[in-house]
Structure 1
Amino acid sequence: MGGLVGESKGKAVLRACGCAVAGLFLIAGCTADGTSKGGAASGSPGTSATPSGTGASGTGGTGASAPAAGPSSSARVAMPPVDESKQPKTAAEARDLLGRIIIAEQDLGPEVARSTPFESGPGRWPVLDESCVWQTEGLPDDVLATSTRHFHIPAKDGRGRVRINATVTVHHNREESGWETARAMEEVLRCPEQKLREGEDLKSLWGGAFYLGEQMNEWTEDAFTESGDYVSAQDGGPYPYTWSQAQFGPVTVAIAAKGAQGVTNDDLTGYVANGTSLMMIQAKQELGKAAG
C-alpha cells in the first residue's frame, strides 16, 4: 500500500463521505473561535507533559452531552504562516512544545475526568500490523516527541462510560507531519476493521481528509477524520467511534472518542471537535509567525 499512500498525499487523499467530514470541520471552526490516533493501542506513545493551562473549552453538562459551540466564526484564529525559528530541533524541545499544546481534562468539560493510567509511557508508537492489529514499537525516526492523555466521562443516568484520548505528535518538519496524515488515511482503507487490543475492536471504519480550504476546512493545513463502530467484550456494542486529526507545520493533534450505551455519535463529535480545535489554536500560538 506504500504507493497508495504517496498517491493519496499527492492527490488530496479520499474525498468520500465529504458531507459528514465537513460537518465536523464546521463544528471545530465554531468551537475554536475567540482565543483544534490517539488511543489506538494500550501502549500508545506518550510523555509526561504539563497541562496546557487554558480555560475549559467544553461546557457540556452531565453524562455525555456534547459541549456547546463557542463564539461566532468571525473571531476565528487565522491560519498564520509557521515561524521556522520556533520549530523544535531536539526531543527535549519537542516535549516542551507538546506540553504547551496538549489539553487537560478541564478543557473538555467539567464532566470529563482523568483515566488511570493518565499518560502513556514515553518512547512508544502505535503501529497497525499486516493483520490489522495495533501494536507498539519505538518512536520512528520522523517523530521527535509524542504524548497521549486518557480521559473518560463516568457512566451516569443510564449512559455508559465514554473514553476519550488526546494525542500531540511533533515531527522535524511539515513534510513528516503530512505523511503521518497520509498513513492514517491508508490505514483506514487497508483495515476497515481493526483490533485495538484483546476484547476491543473497531468495525465499519471510513474516513476522509481535506486540505486547507477544502469542504469548510479553514482551521488546519490538513485534516482527517475517521468514524465507525466500537465493540467491547466488557461493555458490549457496537457503539459510535470517532477520531479527528489536524496538522499545523510539524505538529499533529488528535482526539479519539469511544461511545457507550446511550451515547450518540453527535455526543462524541462535540468533544472531538472541541478538543482538536483547541489544540490547533495552541499549536498556532506556539509556532505561528506574529502578525505585522
Structure 2
Amino acid sequence: MGGLVGQSRGKAGLRACGCAMVGFILVAGCADDGTPKGAASSGTPGTSATPSGTGGSGAAGTGASAPADKPGAATAIAMPPLDESKQPRTAAEARTLLGRVIIAEQDLGPQVVRSTPFESDPGRWPVLDEACVWQTDGLPDDVLATSTRHFHIPAKDGRGRVRISATVTVHHNREESGWETARAMEEVLRCPDQKLREGEDLKKLWGGALYLGEQMNGWTEDAFSESGDYVSAQDGGPHPYIWSQAQFGPVTMAISAKAAKGVTNDDLTAFVAQGTSVMMIQAKQQLGKAAG
C-alpha cells in the first residue's frame, strides 16, 4: 500500500532518517530478495543465527531450507505476484496460514529458546493509547487472525538476556495490511517514548518505511522499521531496540528485539533480519502465484 503509507510519510520529516534505518537493515541483514546475509558471522550473542533448515512451525512442511553451502542463508524467493485465490476468507483459514508463516525458535539459531508465556492470546490485539501506553483489546474488524511468539537468548558469560518477539497478522486484503503499516509509522511520530508495561519502556524511537522498489527494497511490499532505546527495571538500560515489519498481500510479519548488558545493535540486527526474511519467504510460498 505505497499510496496509503506514502500519505503517512508525508506528515513529518521522518522519511529521510527512516530510509537510512530500513536501508541499513537491508544492507546489513538481507539481500534484495529477503535472503539473510552474514547472519552466521555477525557476532551475535552465543552462536550464529543459523536457521535449523525448516521455517516456521512446520505446520505444512513449507519451511525454507538453508542451502548446505551457505550456512545462515535462507532459500531466496523473488517477489511473486499475489495469488488472490489463496487469500484466507475466514478466521479459521487465517489461523492456518498464520501457523505456516510464523517462525519457531530454531529458525533464529540454536541458542534461542522459547519464553514463558510463549504465544499471545489469539483474541487480543495491542493498542497504543493516548498516553503512549500499550494496552490490549479485542481484534479490530480488519484483522482475521494474529499471533505473537516470544523467544529469548539466556543471559550468559556476562551478557544479559536478549528478548525477541515474532508477530504475524492476517488481514482480509492488501489494503488493510497497508494501513497497518501506516498506523505503525504514525505511532512512532505520535509517541517517540512508549511504555510497554510497568517497568518496561521504549525511548527515543524513530523509523520509516520503504515501498517496494524504493531504494534497496526489492523483497517486501512495504518495509517498515523502528529503533530506539529499551529501558527495563529488570534489565537496566538504555539498551538497543529494533523492530522490523514486512508485508506480502494481506499478511504482515514483524520481529522485535531488545538488547541487554553486553549486547549491541548489530547483534540484534542479525536476528531481526533472519526472522523477517524467513517469514517473508514462507508467506510468498503460501500466497504467491506459481512460476510459469
| Same topology, TM > 0.5 | yes
Which amino acid in structure 1 is aligned with residue 190 of structure 2? Answer: R
Which amino acid in structure 1 is aligned with residue 244 of structure 2? Answer: S
Match of 2:47 in 1: none
**Structure 2 length normalisation: TM-score?**
0.84
1:29 counterpart (22, 25, 31):
31
SS in 1 for 2:257: strand
**Partner Cα separation in structure 1 for residue 65 and residue 106 of structure 2:** 5
* Mapping for residues 52-201 of structure 1, pairs under 5 Å: 54=63, 70=73, 76-201=76-201
CA 1:267 to 1:192, structure 2 compared with 1: closer, same or farther past 3 Å? same
**Partner Cα separation in structure 2 for residue 291 and residue 89 of structure 1:** 24
Q: Which runs of 5+ in 1 are unaligned?
A: 35-48, 58-67
**Partner Cα separation in structure 2 for residue 243 and residue 149 of structure 1:** 14
1:20 and 2:21 correspond: yes
Question: Aligned Cα RMSD in Å?
Answer: 2.4
1:283 and 2:270 correspond: no
Which digits, 9 at most, give the CA deviation of each residue in 1:27-56, with x for residues without a partner? 22279439xxxxxxxxxxxxxx94456368
- Judge conservation of contact 1:253–1:279 (CA < 8 Å) in 2: yes
Which digits, 9 at most, give the CA deviation of each residue in 1:210-254, with x for residues without a partner? 000112111000010000000001121000000000000000000
Deviates more, 1:17-26 or 1:145-154: 17-26
SS in 2 for 1:89: coil
**Off by >2 Å, runs of 4+ in structure 1:** 4-7, 9-14, 28-34, 49-57, 68-71
Which amino acid in structure 2 is aligned with residue 20 of structure 1? Answer: M
- Judge conservation of contact 2:76–2:281 (CA < 8 Å) in 1: no
Q: Which runs of 5+ in 2 are unaligned?
A: 37-55
- Judge conservation of contact 2:226–2:244 (CA < 8 Å) in 1: yes
CA 1:85 to 1:31, structure 2 compared with 1: closer, same or farther past 3 Å? closer
**Partner Cα separation in structure 2 for residue 13 and residue 290 of structure 1:** 40
- Judge conservation of contact 2:21–2:226 (CA < 8 Å) in 1: no
Which digits, 9 at most, give the CA deviation of each residue in 1:79-133, with x for residues without a partner? 1110000000000000000100000000000000000111011100000000000
SS in 2 for 1:117: strand
User: Shift of the alpha carbon at 1:23?
Assistant: 1.6
CA 1:30 to 1:88, structure 2 compared with 1: closer, same or farther past 3 Å? same
- Judge conservation of contact 2:32–2:218 (CA < 8 Å) in 1: no
Match of 1:250 in 2: 250
Which amino acid in structure 1 is aligned with residue 24 of structure 2? Answer: G
